[in-house]
Amino acid sequence: MTSRHFPHWTHPSIHAIPYVKMSKVKDGLVLRICRGHQCGKHADAIEAKARETIAAEGLEDEVHIDEEACFGKCFLGPNILVERWRNGARNEKAVFAMMMNQKHADARFEHQVRAEDMPKLIRWHLRAYRAAQEEES
């Protein structure tokens, strides 16, 4: 069986973890919206509301949107992975911990997301991110 038969989040090989390169992102949050066969039914509405919130609150420098094919957690969807980025990279240890079902503030899943949840979800994560940044500096 080739790796394309597994959602990469559930693939047994660490090499399946995608290398994320988003050249525009330096610091801030990346909302990775699932567009897999289950979550994808709601992804357009979720992304539209997220973009509307980002534009309305002037968060373009701090909150970024990307997508994912499937996290392998379809039964919990619609799913979004919220990553904290610093110095142009996400915390790969946090992503790996999350894949192992361990909690880590730098990579958190949001499950059963509805479009109308996006403003609250973005504000909550951004507040937590900013507080963590202040603590670290």
> Mind giving me the DSSP string for 48-81?
HHHHHHHHHTT-TTTEEEEEES--S-GGG-S-EE
The amino acid at 30: V
Residue pair 125/82 in contact (Cβ under 8 Å)? The answer is yes
Using the rule CB under 6 A, is 71 a contact of ligand FES?
yes
73 binds ligand FES (CB under 6 A): yes
Q: Using CB under 6 A, which of 25, 29, 36, 82 touches ligand FES?
A: 36
Q: Is 74 in the site for ligand FES (CB under 6 A)?
A: yes
Please give the structure tokens belonging to residue 9. Answer: 């989040």
Sequence-ordered list of residues with C-beta below 8 angstroms from that of 58, at least 6 positions apart, any chain: none
User: Are 11 and 96 in contact, with CB atoms under 8 Å apart?
Assistant: no
Nearest approach, Cβ of 68 to ligand FES (angstroms)? 7
Q: Does 39 bind ligand FES (CB under 6 A)?
A: yes
By rule CB under 6 A, what string of x and - marks binding of each residue 77-106 to ligand FES?
Answer: x-x---------------------------
Nearer to ligand FES, 68 or 106 (CB): 68
> Is 28 or 39 the residue whose CB approaches ligand FES more closely?
39
Nearest to 74 by CA among 18, 9, 2: 9
In the complex with ligand FES, the residue whose CB is nearer, 28 or 98, is 98
Nearer to ligand FES, 102 or 112 (CB): 112
Structure-token pair, residue 1: 């069986």
